[in-house]
Amino acid sequence: MHTYVTKRKLIYSVEPMRVTDWEKVQWIYADGLKTGISTFQTEVPTWQDWNQGHLPLCRLTARCDQDILGWVALSPTSSRPCYQGVVEVSLYVGAAYRGQGVGEALLTHEIIQSEKNGIWMLYCSIIRENKGSITLTEKCGFRKIGIREKIAKLNTVWHDTVLMERRSKIVGF
């Protein structure tokens, strides 16, 4: 566990997510939905659906006492055994804590934890208008691999996604 300080002098740590964190995790997910550029989902999933869609390993939160500032988790990209080390990253930071280094701390720890668990490729599909997430992933060693034009419609508006990936320099060499 590492301790961090936000730009507003809030002290927090990055720790494994607990099942009891779900209520606060879903509020942060709801914050992301409100932006209109974080996901194509239109409602927060149930715990059962969220849990089933994410790997049980590498689920992290940024925590300040009992508050959750943000979270990160991984989803498989394929059920084929040859792709077991390729995963999609989901990262959300509460509206009050964006732009304060919380996302970078979470993603940095996620990279370390994923490599400890044999994952060699982290992948993100980011709505093109979400410049903050694109900048964050680039800062953490991701590269753009392409654009999917008008891939999905949200509230009657077509959006492009930017595909980002980070190949481990440790796992799989």
What pLDDT shows up at residue 1? 59
Residue among 36, 96, 39 nearest 62 (CA): 96
Number of domains in the chain: 1
pTM, entire model: 0.92
Question: Residue 165 and residue 137: Cα distance in Å, rounded?
Answer: 8
In a domain, 112, yes or no: yes
In a domain, 173, yes or no: no
- The dihedral over CA atoms of 63, 123, 58, 75, expressed in degrees to the nearest 10, equals 110
Question: Residue 22 and residue 57: Cα distance in Å, rounded?
Answer: 15
In a domain, 172, yes or no: no
Residue among 33, 47, 168 nearest 110 (CA): 168
**In which domain, by residue range, is 114 found?**
2-167
pLDDT digits 0-9 by tens, 142-163: 999 999 999 888 888 899 999 9
In a domain, 36, yes or no: yes
Collect the ranges in the chain with pLDDT lower than 50. Answer: none
CATH number at residue 59: 3.40.630.30
